[in-house]
């Protein structure tokens, strides 16, 4: 019977079944699809029923969609628990085996859903039914999802499983650790010089400590959750094809590398073009609509980058499926690394171009853009007269005829009286550059973008749902909101719910819930890891980035909970003992932060302006002054001497080469620091942990008791051997031949040999 909210408590899973395609087809094709759907639906219900489950179907949100409610009886749940515990114990997981006489205790909602889903979706080889959305045998099954219980009082892990619980544990730990860079950044911003070496060194140490601490922390959590080593009992993917060699899979993984490099090159080219347009071209435009032209790089970014990423992600998913991973964890790890690599390029490339191209050579690039795009060599009126006059009209210049050295008339551009659409005065190039560009970018990435992301995660889904309900003529309360009657609508006789109004209200909620998007941990992990990169790699530009990240994550803990429980379908619980490839991404960003911080501090810190670390040549000092000024590290806010001029170009290039060498040295320092920190962290938080020692002691006691129950305990056998009454003494032989027949173990010559040594001395 349904409870007060109209939600039957015994429903474990809902299978969404699509009887016909969403696209409109001919009548004959619709009939063929309906016959196929009927056969597969009957087989679905029969398979679930014969397997000991209860299943019943109801009409879905649209024509051709069915929702199948599945529940597992208690005796079958106990059988699944015993089966899993037995498998876990044999595979070495820290669990107590359940015998036939043992009483199975109450399960958490996540464990119950996980067991039922594994039983339904696993392959028959792993003891499941093989009903999965990715199976060719069940191609009409769209999704399998549990229903939300938005009044839950359990912990996140007990409601949503180990993988989600581990993410929230990571988010909470990371937020607490951010208190240090937040405090350090505030102190550095107000009391230290820009690009402070002290801030950068302490930040790099913090990043290594956090990564190594979490490496140990997730092991402790896996012991606490009872999931350490859970990969040993992971079920195989339905789409996995057995028989492939390990080296065949590795070759397929390597075959994805050219595709990754191709799309990385395309993204780099697009982002570089947008960077040049935003940093240089838009500042040279002087014509009508100048304010609107400033938005053109953003429009280009929105129009191009998401489409390239979408195409790449679809291709990456197909490549990862082609790699034929046997388990979902390795599939997710491979797909995560492919996808995050390009996401990191999009996130960090603009800052890299600004730091190492715009600041050192900004004025030279500006002049190059002026010369290349809006002027050119003299051309013949016969060959290039139309082009010459078009450029003249656009730029407000006058074309005058001149005689070239070969006697042929040539076109010469002369600035007109009214000026042009583009500022072509190379002497004013320096005035177009912005010394505060790096700080402005960091503010945009760590403040503006995070506010926009929070709105997109929390506010925008409410608006989109309201618009959808309004367009469909419904006045349905948002999922999880108490009360509220659905708007009355006209229904046909065959559409009426046989269970009355209460069942209709419940089914309306279910239909809305299964229509929600699937929850993905990738987006949440990616957001936090990219934020970690902004703090570790680039916050020496703007030390308050750590403060912004800390404040954002305080709200992120709540916003992610709302997103999980309101805006997405309830995820299938998954057992895991690690955050997987995201830990490798954190380690890589910590290493990259050591390199980048060393280079930024060496190039832009005023503390290295006039020290023995720099040659005392005029050109090098001028180049260094330019770098400090162009990066916004001095209070005057001037651009300084152009780093691309003839006087300082070689000196600037020399400084950049030395910055690479400094970054290379910092890389070795990072490796040494990581070894030391990992050793200390292991000693303090793992080997010195009372919780770990207690878990190991409990596991040993449990195994000893299990061996005692089987009669194979070593303690009992040792005790029986040592007891003297159980020993049977061999018969002692007497007489003259006893000495000659003495056994090997019946006499000792050591004392006699020592006495003989004393006697002979």
Of 612 and 210, the structure prediction assigns the larger pLDDT to 210
User: In angstroms, rounded to a whole number, what is the distance separating the alpha carbons of residues 165 and 227?
Assistant: 12
Share of the chain above pLDDT 70, in %: 75
Is the per-residue pLDDT at 177 higher than 90? yes
pTM assigned to the model: 0.84
Q: Is the pLDDT of residue 405 over 50?
A: no
What is the SS3 assignment for 514?
Answer: helix
The answer to whether the beta carbons of residues 646 and 571 sit under 8 Å apart is no
pLDDT at 365: 78
What is the pLDDT, as a whole number, of residue 490? 45
Q: So what's the pLDDT on residue 3?
A: 47
Q: What is the per-residue pLDDT for 694?
A: 84
DSSP letter, residue 478: P
> 643 to each of 364, 590, 648, 757, how far by Cα in Å?
8, 30, 5, 89
Share of the chain above pLDDT 90, in %: 39
* Environment class of 397 (CB within 10 Å of its CB; exposed 0-12, middle 13-18, buried 19+): buried
Short-list 355, 387, 364, 359, CA closest to 374: 387
N- to C-terminal Cα separation, the chain: 100
- Contact between 113 and 13 (Cβ < 8 Å): yes
pLDDT at residue 380, rounded to an integer:
44
List Cα–Cα distances, 96 to 99, 127, 219, 704, in angstroms.
10, 21, 19, 12
pLDDT at 404: 43
Cα–Cα dist 168/433, whole Å: 43
Q: What is the DSSP letter of 647?
A: T
> 3-state DSSP call for residue 696?
helix
SS3 category, 731: coil
Would the pLDDT of 147 be above 80?
yes
pLDDT at position 587, please?
Answer: 96
Instruction: Tell me the per-residue pLDDT of 322-333, one tens digit each, with 9 for 90 and over.
Output: 999 988 999 999
343 with 523: CB under 8 angstroms? no
Mean pLDDT of the chain: 80
Q: Using the 8-state DSSP alphabet, how is residue 107 labeled?
A: P
Burial 72-108 (b: 16+ CB within 10 A, else e): beeebbebbbbebbebbbeeebbbbbbeeeeeeeebb
For 436-489, the pLDDT digits (tens) are 888 999 999 999 999 999 898 888 888 888 887 777 766 545 444 444 444 444
Give per-residue pLDDT as tens, 565-603. 999 999 999 999 999 999 999 999 999 999 999 999 988
- Per-residue pLDDT of 293-316, as tens digits, reads 778 888 889 899 999 999 999 999
CB neighbour list of residue 678: distance below 8 Å, 6 or more residues apart: 212, 215
Q: Torsion angle of alpha carbons 614, 620, 625, 631, nearest 10°?
A: -90
Residue 283 banded pLDDT, cuts 50, 70, 90:
confident
What would the pLDDT profile of 334-357 be if each residue is shown by its tens digit? 999 999 999 999 999 999 999 888
Name the pairing type of β-strands 13-18 and 54-59. Answer: unpaired
User: What does 526-578 look like in DSSP terms, one character per residue?
Assistant: HHHHHHHHIIIIITTTSTTHHHHHHHHHHHHHHHHHHIIIIISPPPPP---SS
pLDDT confidence tier of residue 23, bands split at 50, 70 and 90: low
- Tell me, what's the pLDDT at 200? 95
Neighbouring CB atoms inside 10 A of 438's CB total: 25
Is the pLDDT higher at 41 or at 707?
41
pLDDT at 92: 79
Question: What is the per-residue burial (b if ≥16 Cβ within 10 Å, else e) of 485-504?
Answer: eeeeeeeeeeeebeeeeeeb
pLDDT confidence band for 391 (50 / 70 / 90): low
């Amino acid at each position: 019977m349904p409870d007060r909210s109209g939600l039957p408590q015994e429903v474990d899973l809902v299978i969404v079944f699509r009887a016909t395609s969403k696209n409109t087809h001919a009548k004959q094709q619709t009939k063929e699809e309906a016959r196929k759907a009927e056969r597969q639906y009957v087989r679905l219900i029969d398979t679930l029923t014969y397997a000991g489950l209860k299943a019943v179907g109801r009409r879905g949100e649209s024509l051709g969609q069915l929702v199948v409610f599945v529940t597992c009886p208690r005796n079958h749940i106990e059988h699944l628990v015993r089966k899993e515990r037995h498998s876990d114990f044999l595979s070495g997981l820290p669990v107590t085996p359940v015998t036939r006489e043992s009483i199975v205790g109450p399960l958490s909602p996540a464990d119950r859903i996980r067991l039922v889903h594994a039983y339904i979706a696993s392959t028959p080889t792993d003891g499941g039914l093989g009903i999965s959305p990715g199976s060719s045998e069940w191609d009409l099954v769209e999704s399998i999802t549990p229903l939300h219980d938005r009044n839950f009082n359990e912990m996140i892990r007990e409601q949503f499983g180990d993988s989600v619980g581990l993410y929230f544990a990571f988010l909470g730990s990371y937020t607490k650790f951010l208190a240090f860079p937040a405090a350090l950044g505030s102190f550095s911003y107000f009391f230290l010089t820009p690009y402070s070496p002290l801030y950068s060194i302490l930040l790099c140490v913090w990043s290594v400590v956090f990564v190594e601490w979490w490496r140990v922390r997730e092991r402790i959590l896996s012991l606490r959750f009872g999931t350490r080593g859970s990969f040993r009992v992971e079920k195989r993917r339905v789409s996995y094809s057995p028989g492939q060699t390990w080296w065949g899979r590795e070759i397929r993984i390597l075959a994805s590398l050219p595709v990754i490099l191709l799309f990385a090159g395309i993204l780099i080219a697009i982002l570089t073009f947008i960077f040049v347009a935003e940093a240089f071209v838009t500042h040279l435009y002087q014509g009508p609509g100048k304010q609107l032209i400033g938005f053109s790089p953003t429009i280009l970014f929105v129009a191009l980058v998401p489409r390239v990423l979408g195409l790449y992600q679809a291709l990456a998913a197909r490549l990862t499926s082609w790699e034929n991973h046997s388990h979902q964890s390795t599939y997710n790890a491979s797909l995560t690394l492919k996808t995050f690599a390009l996401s990191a390029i999009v996130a960090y490339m603009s800052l890299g171009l600004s730091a190492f191209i715009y600041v050192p050579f900004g004025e030279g690039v500006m002049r190059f853009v002026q010369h290349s795009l809006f002027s050119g060599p003299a051309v013949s009126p016969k060959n290039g007269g139309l082009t010459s006059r078009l450029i003249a009209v656009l730029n407000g210049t006058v074309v005058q005829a001149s005689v070239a050295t070969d006697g042929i008339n040539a076109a010469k551009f002369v600035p007109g009286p009214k000026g042009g659409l583009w500022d072509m005065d190379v002497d004013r190039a320096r005035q177009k550059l912005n010394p505060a560009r790096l700080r402005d970018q960091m503010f945009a990435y760590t403040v503006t973008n995070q506010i926009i992301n929070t709105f997109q995660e929390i506010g925008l889904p409410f608006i989109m749902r309201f618009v959808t309900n309004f367009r469909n003529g419904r006045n349905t309360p948002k999922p999880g909101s108490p009360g509220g009657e659905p708007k009355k609508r006209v229904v046909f006789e065959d559409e009426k719910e046989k269970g009355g109004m209460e069942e209709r209200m419940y089914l309306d909620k279910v239909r809305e819930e299964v229509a929600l998007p699937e929850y993905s941990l990738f987006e949440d992990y990616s957001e936090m890891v990219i934020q970690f990169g902004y703090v570790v790699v680039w916050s020496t530009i703007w030390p308050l980035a750590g403060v912004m990240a800390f404040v954002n994550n305080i709200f992120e803990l709540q916003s992610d909970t709302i997103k999980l429980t309101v805006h997405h379908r309830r995820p299938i619980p998954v057992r895991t003992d690690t955050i997987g490839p995201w830990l490798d991404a954190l380690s890589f960003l910590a290493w990259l932060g050591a390199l980048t911080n060393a280079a930024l501090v060496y190039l832009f810190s005023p503390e290295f302006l006039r020290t023995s670390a720099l040659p005392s040549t005029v050109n090098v000092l001028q180049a260094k002054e330019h770098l400090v000024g162009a990066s916004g590290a001095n209070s005057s806010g001037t651009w300084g001497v152009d780093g691309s001029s003839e006087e300082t170009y070689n000196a600037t290039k020399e400084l950049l080469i030395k910055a690479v060498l400094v970054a290379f040295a910092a890389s070795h320092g990072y490796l040494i620091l990581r070894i030391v920190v990992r050793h200390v962290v292991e000693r303090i938080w793992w080997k010195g942990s009372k919780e770990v020692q207690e878990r190991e002691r409990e596991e040993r006691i449990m195994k000893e008791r299990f061996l005692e129950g089987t009669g194979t305990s070593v303690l009992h056998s040792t005790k029986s051997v040592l007891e003297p009454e159980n020993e049977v003494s061999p018969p002692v032989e007497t007489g003259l031949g006893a000495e000659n027949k003495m056994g090997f173990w019946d006499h000792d010559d050591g004392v006699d040999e020592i006495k003989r040594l004393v006697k002979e001395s």
